[in-house]
């Protein structure tokens, strides 16, 4: 069973949780009302999958925290506090340094680490970070499910080559930029997701959650220097940029968002229908949902 199928089953079993739960599994964060609304997210980092053996402890720790903070950013929230767990390789000589750097980066990203758990085993290191955050004070949490026909599809920053360049270890989550987008667009900011598994696959998730069709123009993808193939920009993943849709904007409206501190590119439109496609420079449509990373239970 692949990751998408398993997550869909988990989301289906988690419908109607009731009580303080406003949004359960299936978005970047859960939204819970408990004396005020909270955002909750958790992510893990696996040695040999998300970072190579021998990676510097500071970079491992930074990525472990930043991945979860990026989920808070995807809802235009502000990180508040975090919890960290580690299952480390027995005898790992840098265990104390790794824990110290996780605490450092949690502070740096605005979510001090207030607790956690530690264990050792004979396998690769696995780090898990839970982050609690608060929604934008006026816009509220921005979900994946709010895209509407007629919206523009936009993205911050540049795409592609994150893993091969090492950027996946040193990115800064777009938390400040996300809040600035919510400030600037307010209710016109209809949906948002962070790009972790690839632009194509994550855009497909946003389209599915919203019940719409997303059409992306390959020629408009903002690629990192050295990335010359639009397919890499759509499929490489680990960019941790913000993909969002907004209504009431003209095609040339990106200049109005210049104040958010990151370049913004308009890369497509939301239309009625279903699915997500990338239109290549020759005019052919490619199923974007196949462009990106998919964890599979039968992979080694």
Among the listed residues 120, 116, 122, 121, the one whose alpha carbon sits nearest the alpha carbon of residue 102: 116
Q: Which residues pair with 269 in a beta bridge?
A: 152, 215
pLDDT at 31: 77
- 95 pLDDT more than 70: yes
pLDDT of residue 10: 59
Residue 32 confidence class, pLDDT cut points 50, 70, 90: confident
Whether 29 has a pLDDT exceeding 70, the answer reads: no
Q: Is the pTM of this model over 0.75?
A: yes
Which range (18-32, 59-73, 84-98, 168-182) has the least confidence? 18-32
CA distance 216 to 84: 37
Q: How far is CA 265 from CA 59, 129, 178, 296, in A?
A: 29, 31, 14, 32
Lowest model confidence (mean pLDDT) among 8-12, 152-156, 289-293: 8-12
Top CATH class of 144-290 equals: alpha beta
More confidently predicted of 298 and 33 = 33
Which stretch, 1-5, 23-27, 81-85, 238-242, has highest mean pLDDT?
238-242
pLDDT attached to residue 138: 95
What are the pLDDT digits (tens) for 190-242?
999 999 999 999 999 999 999 999 999 999 999 999 999 999 999 999 999 99
Closest residue by Cα to residue 155 from 213, 220, 207: 220
C-alpha torsion sign, points 231, 235, 240, 245: positive
Owner of token pair 């509407």 = 148
Q: Is the pLDDT of residue 89 over 70?
A: yes
29-134 and 144-290: identical CATH topology: no
Q: What is the pLDDT of residue 299?
A: 47
Q: Region 29-40: what's the mean pLDDT? A: 78
Among the residue ranges 11-20, 75-84, 166-175, 278-287, the one predicted with the least confidence is 11-20
Per residue, what are the HEC states of the chain? CEHHHHHHHHHHHCCCCCCCEEECECECCEEEECCCEEEEEEEEEEECCCECCCCCHHHHHHHHHHHHHHHHHHCCCEEEEEEEEEEEECCCCCHHHHHHHHHHHHHHCCCCEEEEEEEEECCCCEEEEEEEEECCCCCCCCCHHHCCCCCEEEEECCECCHHHHCHHHHCCCCHHHHHHHHHHHHHHEEEEEECCCCHHHHHHHHHHHHCCEEEEEHHHCCECCCCCCHHHHHHCCCCCCEEEEECCCCCCHHHHHHHHCCCEEEEEEEECCCEEEEECCCCCEEEHHHCCCCCECCCC
pLDDT for the residue 19: 59
Asked: is 29-134 a CATH 3.30.420.300 domain? The reply is no
Average pLDDT over residues 56-84: 96
Average pLDDT over residues 249-266: 78
How high is the mean pLDDT of the chain? 89
Residues 269-297 have a mean pLDDT of: 86
Is 80 exceeded by the pLDDT of residue 165? Answer: yes
How high is the pLDDT of residue 255?
66
Task: Tell me the CA distances in angstroms from 62 to 45, 148, 165, 170, one per residue in order.
Answer: 11, 35, 16, 7
Q: How confident is the model at residue 296 (pLDDT cuts 50, 70, 90)?
A: very low
Task: Provide the residue ranges of all domains of the chain, joining segments of one domain with +.
Answer: 29-134, 144-290
In tens, the pLDDT along 173-200 reads 999 999 999 999 999 999 999 999 999 9
């Amino acid at each position: 069973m692949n990751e998408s199928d398993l997550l869909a089953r988990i989301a289906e079993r988690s419908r109607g949780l009731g009580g303080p739960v406003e949004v359960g599994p299936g978005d970047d964060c859960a939204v819970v009302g408990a004396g005020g609304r909270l955002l909750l997210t958790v992510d893990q980092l696996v040695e040999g999958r998300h970072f190579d053996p021998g990676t510097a402890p500071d970079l491992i720790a930074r990525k472990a925290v930043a991945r979860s903070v990026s989920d808070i950013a995807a809802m235009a929230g502000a990180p508040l506090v975090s919890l960290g767990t580690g299952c480390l390789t027995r005898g790992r000589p840098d265990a104390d340094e790794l824990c110290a750097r996780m605490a450092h980066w949690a502070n740096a990203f605005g979510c001090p680490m207030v607790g956690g758990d530690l264990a050792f085993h004979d396998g690769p290191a696995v780090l898990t970070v839970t982050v609690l955050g608060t929604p934008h004070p006026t816009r509220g949490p921005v979900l994946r499910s709010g895209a509407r026909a007629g919206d523009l599809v936009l993205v911050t920053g540049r795409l592609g080559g994150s893993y091969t360049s090492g950027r996946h270890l040193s990115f800064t989550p777009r938390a400040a930029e996300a809040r600035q987008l919510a400030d600037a667009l307010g209710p016109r900011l209809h949906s948002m997701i962070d790009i972790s598994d690839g632009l194509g696959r994550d855009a497909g998730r946003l389209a599915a959650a919203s019940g719409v069709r997303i059409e992306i123009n390959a020629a408009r993808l903002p690629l990192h220097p050295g990335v010359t193939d639009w397919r890499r920009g759509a499929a490489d993943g680990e960019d941790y940029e913000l993909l969002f849709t907004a209504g009431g904007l003209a095609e040339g409206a990106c200049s109005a968002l210049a104040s958010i501190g990151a370049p913004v590119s308009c890369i497509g439109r939301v239309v009625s229908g279903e699915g997500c496609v990338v239109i290549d420079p020759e005019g052919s449509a490619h199923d974007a949902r196949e462009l990106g990373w998919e964890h599979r239970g039968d992979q080694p």
